[in-house]
Amino acid sequence: MSADSPGSTGNKVNLGELATTVLKGVGPSLAEKLQRLDLYCIQDLLLHLPYRYQDRTRVVPIGSLVPGIEALIVGTVEITDVVYRRKRSMLCRISDGSGFITLRFFYFSGKQQQRLSRGTRISCFGEVRQGPNSLEIIHPEYEFIADDQASVSSDSLTPFYPATEGVQQLTLRKLITQAIKKYLPALLEILPEKICTELNLASLQDALLAVHQPEKNVNTEQLMLGIHPLQRRLSFEELLAHQLSLKALLKKKKLKNAPAITGTGDLVKQFINKLGFTLTGAQSKVIHEIENDLRRPHPMQRLVQGDVGCGKTIIAAAAALSLVESGYQAVIMAPTELLCEQHYKNFSDWMIPLGINCVALQGRLNTADKKSALQDIASGKANIIIGTHALFQSGVVYKNPGLVIVDEQHRFGVHQRLALLEKGEENNFLPHQLIMTATPIPRTLAQTLYADLDVSVIDELPPGRKPVKTAVISATRRGEIVKNIEQACKAGRQAYWVCPLIEESEALQLQTATDTEAALKEALPDLRIAMVHGRLAGDKKESIMRSFNNHDTDLLVATTVVEVGVDVPNASMMIIEHSERLGLSQLHQLRGRVGRGSDEATCVLLYQAPLSEIAKDRLNTMRETNDGFEIARKDLEIRGPGEMFGTRQTGLPRFRIADLMRDQVLLPQVQQAARSIEEEFPATIQPLLKRWLRRAGDYNTV
Ligand code: ADP
Ligand code: MG
């Protein structure tokens, strides 16, 4: 039997152990890049599912293109030129008789330019946008058309996979097709037959095949929405695996002890007295609830929900101090480097006068700083440790962590939070846990995700806050906005100009931000303008933020790195580009960066016409309300295909296919199946978890 035949792999091969290098075209270097996508083995590839589909089943006449749509076009090259306008780029104009369009490349080779010579026929796919002189596609996928080629369109929808730098869409498509052909038949069914029959579930293999390679006559609408029964079959199994793993973790945790605090609460009192403002009633109430939990010898597991700007950081600091007073360490995990730096600064300002040591642990520390931080953490010299994901990497050893605080939980998966907790675990001893989030989560979901958590709500903002005035304005009126910024900044206020994710590519997002910064500097020569983005080194980022914080910068151009937690009260104006592309909770988070001081704040949501109905609805909601709970409710109501990335924005754990909002209807079945498996088929639990939850390997699943 040839190696290509599925039979030769038999049922003996464990696809969960089979390295991706068995595929043609995958060497050690590509295999390593695949790992960045958490793709370690063939099974991972088979479960790497499209997050959307593109319709390349028909060629669209260039003359009928409109901005905002994705289209397959065919045309002849008229001219290809390299231009230097702020940044070197290659422009290639193609036409098909009905009209012309420009293809724009920021990265290209001389050879590429040569091959795109006049008269060459190509097919392209990409998103059409309005460029300076004509419609454009930036970095389209393109292919040369042979003279005798019959068709360029595809028979079925084209799957679109989560990709990363160095692993292109096309590569993934080819690898996954190869994996399906060779290995899908060897993928074992793990779910007990009884459950499959009861719930009338299709086989795993059929479901995967249908999702990767949708048939021609598939219900496209369902598929695009992610609610096709065969997709649901997969979501079900994934949710079930998560549910089982949570239950196992909870079972383990229930048996643990935790350090009961014994201090007088003096440190907390000193801290609060030095704050320069009075706590809100809601803050005092929650601090009190937390203190009660901490006095018990069992792990606190409390979720603090409170809208952006309600003052959750103070709560974290008070809780941390309670543990420090009793001789334990407190660990605070922030979702971004920027937020981590800001917390570190705030905590240092608060703690140093009290004689308490704070240490920051980030991915980007240099070797010497990291070594000294690790030493202080291990020796106990560090009382409060603030960090990013770096906190739960191997090599970090805590002396005696008594409390783990996870800020902006919506950015982390359930398992990441539990992994950090396990770091502090020792002989039946578990730290207390405090989780803070600005994203209210509907009850049904909360039960599934946080069955283990008590909930405190901060339903009050610090006094004197005025709601942020929100305007929705077409990007064509940018000139007026620039004038308003000038006025505001000259009157001593500060502003953010946010350029969010436009394409999947971080490079392009950066490009937009860079262009915007240059344009603003040109238009506003008197203002001090700086830019911050995710790719800057940590110290650079920190110094830019510090300069904004100290009011040495008037206008900060930023990518969405400022979304979470950034706190500069004097900033009272925010412009958000391409607001039509963002989800409600992300817009709400971003807007929460202003309106923190006493000045009346404004938020301008710039949009690029034409607006979809969903986008219109979202922007109207933003204009009408500042209430985070109301916005979350609305978010659920209008959530549609445009938000298939929902999990990232709403902060529920990241699944491969399931989406807790979308797939809520499955939850009762999932819970019931989980019980049945625990009772009747416990042997299937491990394989299920291994299949669905084995990620990066840096945290335990059970
Ligand atoms: P979030 O809940 O979004 O994390 P922060 O903790 O960042 O909010 O607090 C937002 C701002 O409000 C900070 O500048 C903080 O110092 C300030 N603040 C917090 N509590 C109060 C209060 N009781 N009175 C006045 N200002 C407060
Ligand atoms: Mg915060």
CATH number at residue 124: 2.40.50.140
Dihedral sign of CA atoms 545, 374, 698, 386 in order: negative
Give the CATH number for residue 533: 3.40.50.300
pLDDT of residue 441 exceeding 50, the answer is yes
The verdict on 564 and 602 lying in the same domain is yes
Backbone angles phi, psi at 398, to 5 degrees: -95, 150
Distance 645 CA to ligand 2 centre (A): 23
Q: What is the pLDDT at residue 256?
A: 81
Does 276 lie in the same domain as 403?
A: yes
Ligand 2 mean position to 199 CA, how many Å? 43
Q: What integer pLDDT is reported at residue 693 of this predicted model?
A: 80
Examine the fold and report which residue of 581, 610, 625 is the final residue of a domain before the chain moves on: 625
Q: Judge whether residue 214 has pLDDT over 80.
A: yes
Of residues 386 and 441, the one with the higher pLDDT is 386
Answer whether 311 contacts ligand 1 (Cβ < 6 A): yes
pLDDT value at 433 more than 60: yes
If you ran DSSP here, which 8-state letter would residue 474 be given? Answer: E
**Probe target for ligand 1 pocket from 313, 434, 568, with the most ligand atoms within 8 Å of CB:** 313
Residues 337 and 442 in one domain: yes
Is 276 in the same domain as 366? yes
Q: What is the pLDDT of residue 414?
A: 57
Q: DSSP of 416-455, one letter per residue?
A: HHHHHHHHT-BTTB--EEEEEESS---HHHHHHHHTT-EE
Q: Which atom of ligand 1 is nearest to the CA of 279?
A: 23
Mutate to test the pocket of ligand 1, among 596, 598, 599, 626 (most ligand atoms within 8 A of CB): 596
**C-alpha torsion 93→96→101→105, nearest 10:** -50
Token pair for residue 303? 């979720």
Q: What is residue 222's predicted lDDT score, i.e. its pLDDT?
A: 87
Does residue 511 share a domain with residue 413? no
Q: State in Å: Cα 408 to ligand 2 middle.
A: 7
Amino acid letter for position 328? Y
Ligand 1, atom 15, residue with closest C-alpha: 311
Q: Which residue has the higher pLDDT, 21 or 250?
A: 21
**Is the residue at 667 inside a domain?**
no
Q: How confident is the model at residue 1 (pLDDT cuts 50, 70, 90)?
A: very low
On whether both 389 and 420 belong to a single domain, the answer is yes
Mean pLDDT confidence for 308-328: 94
pLDDT band at 148 (very low <50, low <70, confident <90, very high): confident
pLDDT band at 449 (very low <50, low <70, confident <90, very high): low
Atom of ligand 1 nearest to the CA of 306: 2
Return the exposure string of 163-172: e unless at least 16 CB atoms fall within 10 Å of the residue's CB, then b: bbeebebebb
310 alpha carbon – ligand 1 mean position (Å): 6
Question: Hey, which of 271, 310, 349 would you mutate to test ligand 1's pocket, going by the most ligand atoms within 8 Å of its Cβ?
Answer: 310
Report yes or no on 379 lying in a domain: yes
My answer on whether 450 and 478 are in the same domain is no
The finding on whether 306 has its CB within 6 A of some atom of ligand 1 is yes
636 occurs within a structural domain = no
Lowest-confidence segment of 110-119, 306-315, 403-412 by average pLDDT: 403-412
424 C-alpha vs ligand 1 centroid, how far in Å? 29
Which residue's CA is minimally distant from atom 25 of ligand 1? 462
In a domain, 53, yes or no: no
Amino acid in position 273: N
Residues 6+ apart with CB under 8 A from 628: 307, 308, 438, 439, 440, 588
pLDDT of 73: 95
pLDDT at 13: 79
Flag whether pLDDT at 7 surpasses 90.
Answer: no
Q: Which atom of ligand 1 is nearest to the CA of 278?
A: 23
Q: Is the pLDDT of residue 120 over 70?
A: yes
What's the average model confidence in pLDDT over 24-41?
91
118 contacts 79 by C-beta, under 8 angstroms = yes
Region 660-679 average pLDDT: 87
417 and 378 within one domain: yes
Give residue 389's pLDDT.
80
Report the residue among 304, 349, 567, 572 best suited for mutation to probe ligand 1: largest number of ligand atoms under 8 A from its CB. Answer: 567
Cross-strand pairs, 573? 495, 602
- Residue 531 DSSP class: E
Name the closest-CA residue to atom 26, ligand 1. Answer: 462
- Residues 430 and 310 occupy one common structural domain: yes
Regarding predicted confidence, which is higher, 31 or 429? Answer: 31
Q: Give the tokens for residue 244.
A: 């089982």
DSSP for residue 571: E
- Give yes or no for residue 282 CB within 6 A of ligand 1: no
111 in any annotated domain: yes
Q: Are residues 499 and 422 in the same domain?
A: no
Alpha-carbon distance of 573 to 563, in angstroms, equals 14
Mutate to test the pocket of ligand 1, among 284, 314, 342 (most ligand atoms within 8 A of CB): 314
Residue 139 inside a domain? The answer is yes
Whose alpha carbon is nearest atom 10 of ligand 1?
Answer: 309
* Strand pairing category for 52-54 and 158-160: antiparallel
- Per-residue pLDDT at 412 exceeds 60: no
- 93 in ligand 1 pocket by Cβ < 6 Å? no
Please give the tally of structural domains in the chain: 3
Q: Which residue minimizes the CA distance to atom 5 of ligand 1?
A: 311
Decide: 608 and 130 in contact? Cβ < 8 Å.
yes
The confidence score (pLDDT) of residue 696 equals: 33
Provide the pLDDT for residue 226: 87
Task: Note the pLDDT of residue 364.
Answer: 72
146/355 Cα distance (integer angstroms):
74
Ramachandran bin of 89, using left for φ above 0, alpha for ψ from -120 to 50, beta for the remaining angles:
beta
Give residue 277 CA to ligand 1 midpoint distance, Å: 10
In whole angstroms, what is the distance from residue 99 CA to residue 128 CA? 14
Whether 395 shows a pLDDT value over 80: the answer reads: yes
Q: For residue 316, give the ligand 1 atom closest to its CA.
A: 6
How many angstroms does the Cα of residue 567 sit away from the middle of ligand 1? 8
pLDDT for 113 equals 94
Query: Is the per-residue pLDDT at 417 higher than 50?
Result: yes
Which ligand does the CA of 312 lie closest to?
1
Tell how far the Cα of 311 is from the centroid of ligand 2, in angstroms: 7
pLDDT of residue 638: 63
How many DSSP H helices and E strands does the chain contain?
Answer: 25, 21
Q: Of the given ranges (27-31, 439-443, 486-490, 632-636), which has the lowest mean pLDDT?
A: 439-443
Task: Give the type of residue at 168.
Answer: Q
- Atom number in ligand 1 closest to CA 569: 14
Is 567 near ligand 1, meaning CB less than 6 Å away?
Answer: yes
| Whether residue 351 has pLDDT greater than 70 | yes
Residues 443 and 498 in one domain: no
Determine what percent of the chain is predicted with pLDDT higher than 90. 51
Residue 522, pLDDT above cutoff 80: yes
Q: What is the mean pLDDT of residues 541-559?
A: 90
Q: The dihedral of CA 630, 636, 642, 645: what is its sign?
A: positive
For ligand 1, whether the C-beta of 596 sits within 6 Å is yes
- The model's confidence at residue 153, banded by pLDDT at 50, 70 and 90, is confident
Parent domain of 483:
469-625
3-state SS, residue 130 = strand
Which ligand has the nearest atom to the CA of 315?
1
Does the beta carbon of 283 sit less than 6 angstroms from any atom of ligand 1? Answer: yes
553 located within any domain: yes
Residues 448 and 559 both lie in one domain: no
On the CB side of 522, CA atoms within 13 Å amount to 8
Condensed to tens digits (0 to 9), the pLDDT of residues 623-669 reads: 999 888 778 767 766 653 223 223 333 334 567 888 777 787 888 89
Q: Give the Å distance between the CA of 300 and the centre of ligand 2.
A: 20
Most confident of 249-258, 322-331, 398-407, 587-596: 322-331
> Can you tell me the distance from the alpha carbon of 304 to that of 405, in angstroms, rounded to the nearest whole number?
10
Is the pLDDT at 456 greater than 90, yes or no? no
> Looking at 296-310, 424-438, 648-662, which range is the least confident one?
648-662
What's the pTM? 0.62
